[in-house]
Amino acid sequence: MSRRNAGGMVLLVGLAAGLIGIGGGYILWGWPPNWYAARDVFRLPATPENQLIQYGWQLVTETPRLIGKSASDPALRYAGNDLACTQCHLKAGGKPFAAPFISTFASFPMMANDEVLTLTERINGCMTRSMNGQPLPESGREMDALIAYMRFIGKDSPEGVRIAGMGLLPLAPPQQKPDRERGEKIFSGSCASCHGTNGQGQRRLPPEVGFSVPPLWGADSFNSEAGMSHMETAAGFIRANMPYLTTDYRNPSLSEQEAWDVAAYITSQPRPSKPSEQPH
Ligand code: HEC
Ligand code: HEC
């Protein structure tokens, strides 16, 4: 087993221990709690702080209606597309290896490329790249609500540590060079039924805005600066999460090589380039 795989095993064992912990409970057994158990924000008592958490959840799941490019309130049209955060941060940031938000609040600010990166800046990184739009005002209600929600779903998680399942599934380097043509065949066979033959996704029926299946490329997609536009990121996400509903990291559908190949195909398709000089 390579060193890299050994690292992956430790991560998975950690996660399994977390899952076993569900029944036993933290105090009785000393096992970590199940950080990924679903948390229903609408069962919280109606206090102003909880309403902020609920608004944060709505921003993650109903992004296009609230802050998308066709948002009901024109003053809040910050995103440049109609994607929802939850379409990449699956289960509203509660699915392991789908870029979850469990350790997010506790692990920011962090160092990235020798600079301090705050959570506000990281959220705005997704706003300007994945959402192809403009940054949210740093002290606005939307930013406060997103941070309150992330703090809530990571409540009591360890400070400064990333729990198992954070980020995306690490893949071994591809055994064969990732190949777009093989990827195109995988796309037609396993993805196009939902994402469309041109990767355009499926729009919700008006008056609803947004997508029931998000686009993977084209004018309505994330831009060329987004994490998902990098082959390695897309491959890790796809291997642990797609095709939708039948796939998770314990039960991948595609082989690692197939994930690399289909990611090579998707990331070679046209998409918006970084929006030029947006005002801050
Ligand atoms: C097109 C896919 C996509 C969309 C849409 C998207 N993100 Fe992300 N986001 C990513 C990826 C990929 C990462 C990096 C995951 C990794 O490698 O750890 C990321 C990382 C993050 C992180 C850092 C998490 C951490 O703990 O490291 C935050 C915070 C975040 N996104 C917030 C948002 C919010 C809020 C929205 C909606 C307004 C959003 N994202 C929409 C793909 C997306
Ligand atoms: C059964 C329908 C279905 C199939 C099949 C499917 N997807 Fe998805 N995909 C979705 C849905 C729905 C989402 C958004 C998930 C959510 O909102 O919870 C998504 C999200 C994604 C995302 C992140 C969002 C974005 O805009 O990029 C990528 C990448 C992706 N799928 C790639 C693939 C690939 C590659 C395949 C084939 C191997 C595939 N999908 C097969 C339904 C599907």
Higher pLDDT, 128 or 19: 128
**Residues in CB range of 1: below 8 A, 6 or more apart:** 9
CB 231 within 8 A of CB 178: yes
The average pLDDT across 250-269 equals 98
Whole-angstrom CA distances from 201 to 195, 197, 213, 219 are: 4, 9, 5, 12
Give residue for tokens 């779903």: 153
**232 CA to centre of own chain:** 14
pTM: 0.91
Residue 224, pLDDT > 50, answer yes
Domains and CATH numbers, the chain: 45-163 (1.10.760.10), 180-267 (1.10.760.10)
Structure tokens at 21: 């912990």
At residue 79, the pLDDT reads 98
**91 Ramachandran zone, left/alpha/beta (phi>0; psi -120 to 50):** left
pLDDT of 25 reads 46
Mean pLDDT score across all residues of the chain: 90
Structure tokens at 71: 């948002």
- For residue 88 and ligand 1, the question of a CB distance below 6 A is answered with yes
Residue 1: pLDDT over 60: no
* pLDDT recorded at residue 211: 98
* C-alpha 138 to ligand 1 mean position (Å): 17
Compute the distance between CA of residue 148 and CA of residue 61 in angstroms, rounded to an integer: 15
Q: Whose CA is nearest to atom 17 of ligand 1?
A: 167
pLDDT value of position 31: 62
Q: Whose CA is nearest to atom 40 of ligand 1?
A: 126
Give the residue, 34 or 186, on which the prediction is more confident. Answer: 186
pLDDT in tens, 75-106: 999 999 999 999 999 999 999 999 999 999 99
pLDDT value at residue 161: 86
| Test site for ligand 2: of 81, 87, 260, most ligand atoms within 8 A of the Cβ | 87
Quickly tell me which residue has 């995103």 as its tokens. 79
Residue 280 has pLDDT above 50, yes or no: no
% of residues, the chain, pLDDT over 70: 86
- Summarised one tens digit per residue, pLDDT across range 57-69 is 999 999 999 999 9
Q: Quick one: which ligand is closest to 161's CA?
A: 1
- Summarised one tens digit per residue, pLDDT across range 140-175 is 999 999 999 999 999 989 988 899 999 999 999 999
CA 76 to chain centre: 22
60 Cβ below 6 A of ligand 2: no
pLDDT value of residue 33 = 79
Query: How many CB atoms neighbour CB 46 within 10 A?
Result: 8
Nearest CA to ligand 1 atom 9: 126
Q: Is 70 exceeded by the pLDDT of residue 32? A: no
Q: How many CA atoms lie within 13 A of 123 on its CB side?
A: 29
Asked whether the predicted pLDDT for residue 274 surpasses 90, the reply is no
